[in-house]
Every structure is written in structure tokens, then in C-alpha cells.
Amino acid sequence: MVRVAVTAVLVALVLLAVPLGLAIKSYFFAHQRDALERDALAGAVRVSPDFTTGDPVELPAAAAGEHLGLYDAGPRRKAGAGPQSGDRAVQQALAAASVRSQTGNELVIAVPVSHNEQVIGVVRASAPTRGIWKRVLAGWGALLGVALLALGVAILVARRQARALTAPLEDLSRQCRAVTDGDLTARARHSPITEIDQVARTHNDMLQSLSELLQHEKNFTANASHQLRTPLTGLQLTLESALAQEDSRLRPAIEEALASTRHLHQTVEDVLRLTRKSRHPAAATAPREAAGRVLEDLASRWHGVFADDGRRLECTAPEAAAQALIAGRAVTQILDILLDNARLHGRGAVEVAVRDFEDALAFDVTDEGTLDIAPARLFTRGHTSGPGEGIGLSLAQDLADALDGRLSLASHAPTRFTLLVPLGSVAGNSHRLARTTPEHDSSAPPENGRP
């Protein structure tokens, strides 16, 4: 803003100062010519016709820096100061016309002296241009001083106006950064500038609506989780009580139903935990479980589902990778989503394979189908190419991000999704410990139910 204001003032000053500077020069030269002409006319009036016969002539005193001389028709100087022989201006004035000219470094005015309608002489007035240029330069200096003063005032005004305009914008920027850092209570202050104040009000209204929407979503999540946990807990207690009975015929079904409820309860907890985090939680804080155990539970729960559809499910992992400790709950949630996606949208046999990368494990979920959707749209929430709400893959990607991992589409034909789970520093230590000490926690209840 300061640059724009200064540029505008400079353009205005140039457009004004250049013509004004030329006008100053023209004024001083014209003023000097007029003064010389007055002195020459005054001298011509005082010249007597008898000067041609030798009568002495008394010319008026010339002004400082001027020269006044009288010339006869010769033309030779008879009185005053000037060149001994008349110059071109004097010769032209003998033709009965006043002459204004500039010869060398002098301004010259020549006025004819007439008697009985005949020119009998010429009065010549001259002044050096050096003195005129001194006055012109003094005028230009004054003009430059005024221009610099105007420029300085313009800069001060522009800086003050710029501060007045940028202060509310900087405040709005600070509030936006505060919102980016998670503070939804930040509000922009009122501005005396109408347009900026309108932006600030719109920003505050948007934040208010966003805060209400987020609060509504948070309340809904809390209410849904509370209402789901209560009946799930009651169902678990009922199943555990039924499991204590001695009727062996219902025991396998009760165990399967109990495992399913525990799995569903854990799913609710994981989703709720994910919605509570504005930043990704550290993967090292999640409960650790051997990758082989995760695959075994996965196979036991999904084998029957695919078998009912006439499809085969195969889960494989190298021995070293199977002993690695990972965040079992979150990985199980992601693999459940991928297997359900393969069941609904894929075809043929499904394979879950684990690859070991020393500092990470890669879980490949492959089916024999073909996928012609761009990966960017594939993980967009709400987008689906068939049955479903288009939430599963987006949720799986969020869960992978929460583990500091990555979920991607590795192949279109056949369709293969790859979940990369980094073991990290803490996880890496667990990985190495698992290879030397293969024991793992087996206290977790088995999950033999179907999702």
C-alpha cells in the first residue's frame, strides 16, 4: 500500500513538476527580456536627433548586470556599453523593427531610434544568461524542495493508512492461525473499515456455525457410544451367564456370540477414540499383539463368511513377521474393513499376506476382481461403486493414519490393498523381543464370531 501511494504521488509530482519547471524557466527569461525592452525604450526616448552630429548622449543607468548602448546607422557604438560594432540584432533593428534575440550567452533587445520617419540609430540592451540561469536554478531548487516535502508527507500518510488497514487483517490472520491450532473460541475483532469488518463478521459467523456443528457431532458420538455400550455390556453379561450353564449344546454358539459382542464393543471404543483425537495418537501407546495372532483371529471370523459365498480365504505370514508385535486392535479394524470390501465388491479367492520390511509390516489384501476407480476418489468419504455408504475405506485410511501407517491401492487388476504399519522405535524393540522371546499375551479372549 505504501508503494502504491508513493508511486501515485511520484507520478503526480512528475506530471506537475516538469511543466512547472519549464514554466519557471520561461518566466525568468521572459521577465528579463521585458526588463531589457523597457530599458531600451527608455533609452530610445532620451536620445536626441543631434547625436549624429556629435552631441553627447546621456542614456539612463542600466540595471545591475545589464548593458545599454547607442548605435548610429554605421552601425558604430556612440554611447553606453556593448560591442564596438553593432551586431546582427542592431543591424536588424535598423530596418525599423524591434528585435529580440539571444546571441551566445546574452539576451539582446534592439530598439530603433526614429526621426522624421527615418531610423537614425538603435539602442541596444543586453544581459548575460548566467544570471538568469541562477534564478531559474533557484526556482527549480524551491520546486524540488516542495516536491520532496509533498513526497515525505505522502509517505507518512500512506504508512499511517497502511497500518490502519493492515492491523485488522493481521488480527484476522492471528485468529485464523489460532483456529488452525484448534482454538475454536478465537474471534476476530471489530474493524472501523467496512469491508474488513464484513470479512471479520463472516469469519466469526462461520466459526460459530462450525463450533455448533462440531459440538453437535461430538454430542452425537458420545450419546451413540453411551447408548451402544450399555446394551453391549448387558448382552455380554447375559452371554457370560449363559456360558456358565452346563448345557454343552449351546456353548459353541454362546462363545461365538460373546466373541462377536466383545469385538463390536472394541470397535465402538476404537471409533470413539478416533473421533476424540484432533491429532494422530502415537502408535506405540496402543496395546501390542503378535501379527500371527491377528491373522488367526481374522481367519477364524471371516472364513465362514467367505465359505458361505463359495469363496476361499487364505491368510499367510512368514514366521518372523508373525512374531512381530503390532497394534492389534487397530490393524484388525482395518483388515475387517478391507475384507468386507473384498466380499462386497471383489470376486474369487481372497488372500491376506504379510510382508516383513524390518522396520514395518505390510498387509496385502488381494482378491481376483478388477477396480477401475481412481485412488483419490476411492478413499473419499461417501463415494461408493456399489452397495454400501462409502464410509469403510475412508474410515480405514483414518485408522491407518492414526497408527502413523499408510493404506493404499497397490493394484487395480487384481485388486490389492496394502496396509503399511511402521514398527517405529518402540515397536521395533517389541519386534526384536518377539523374535527372541516368542511368548505373547494370550490373556485376551478369543474372537471366533463373525462381524
Q: Report whether pLDDT(332) > 80.
A: yes
Q: Report whether pLDDT(375) > 80.
A: no
Q: Assess whether 17 and 132 both reside in one domain.
A: yes
Domain that holds residue 383: 283-436
pLDDT at position 389, please? 60
Lowest mean pLDDT among 147-151, 156-160, 225-229, 396-400: 225-229
Q: Assess whether 39 and 121 both reside in one domain.
A: yes
Lowest mean pLDDT among 69-78, 183-192, 378-387, 416-425: 378-387
Q: Report whether pLDDT(252) > 50.
A: yes
Residue 447 lies in a domain: no
Q: Assess whether 106 and 208 both reside in one domain.
A: no
Kindly report the CATH number assigned to the domain that includes residue 214.
1.10.287
Residue 35 lies in a domain: yes
Residue 44 lies in a domain: yes
pLDDT band at 140; cut points 50, 70, 90: very high
Q: Report whether pLDDT(354) > 90.
A: yes
Residue 445 lies in a domain: no
Encode pLDDT of 110-136 as tens digits: 898 888 778 888 888 999 988 889 999
Q: Assess whether 393 and 310 both reside in one domain.
A: yes
Q: Report whether pLDDT(268) > 90.
A: no
319 or 282, which is more confident: 319
Residue 306 lies in a domain: yes
Q: Report whether pLDDT(382) > 80.
A: no
Q: Assess whether 316 and 262 both reside in one domain.
A: no
Boundary (domain end) residue, out of 136, 155, 178: 136
Q: Assess whether 20 and 127 both reside in one domain.
A: yes
Kindly report the CATH number assigned to the domain that includes residue 315.
3.30.565.10
Encode pLDDT of 3-27 as tens digits: 888 888 889 888 998 999 999 999 9
Residue 301 lies in a domain: yes
Among 42-46, 242-246, 361-365, 440-444, which range has the highest average pLDDT? 361-365
Q: Assess whether 246 and 348 both reside in one domain.
A: no
Residue 54 lies in a domain: no
Boundary (domain end) residue, out of 244, 273, 302: 273
Q: Assess whether 287 and 432 both reside in one domain.
A: yes
Q: Assess whether 431 and 287 both reside in one domain.
A: yes
Q: Assess whether 96 and 28 both reside in one domain.
A: yes
Residue 446 lies in a domain: no
69 or 58, which is more confident: 69
What's the mean pLDDT in 185-202?
85
Q: Report whether pLDDT(431) > 80.
A: no
Q: Assess whether 264 and 295 both reside in one domain.
A: no
0.95 surpassed by pTM: no
Question: For the chain, what is the mean pLDDT?
Answer: 79
Boundary (domain end) residue, out of 105, 136, 167: 136
Q: How many domains does the chain have?
A: 3
Q: Assess whether 412 and 300 both reside in one domain.
A: yes
Q: Report whether pLDDT(448) > 60.
A: no
3-state secondary structure the chain: CHHHHHHHHHHHHHHHHHHHHHHHHHHHHHHHHHHHHHHHHHHHHHCCHHHHHCCCCCCCCCCCCCEEEEEECCCEEEEECCCCECCHHHHHHCCCCCEEEEECCEEEEEEEEEECCEEEEEEEEEEEHHHHHHHHHHHHHHHHHHHHHHHHHHHHHHHHHHHHHHHHHHHHHHHHHHHHCCCCCCCCCCCCCHHHHHHHHHHHHHHHHHHHHHHHHHHHHHHHHHHHHHHHHHHHHHHHHHHCCCCCCCHHHHHHHHHHHHHHHHHHHHHHHHHHCCCCCCHHHCCEEEHHHHHHHHHHHHHHHHHHCCCCEEEECCHHHHHCEEEHHHHHHHHHHHHHHHHHHCCCCEEEEEEECCCEEEEEEECCCCCCCCHHHHCCCCCCCCCCCCCHHHHHHHHHHHCCCEEEEEECCCCEEEEEEECHHHHHHHHHHHHHCCCCCCCCCCCCCCC
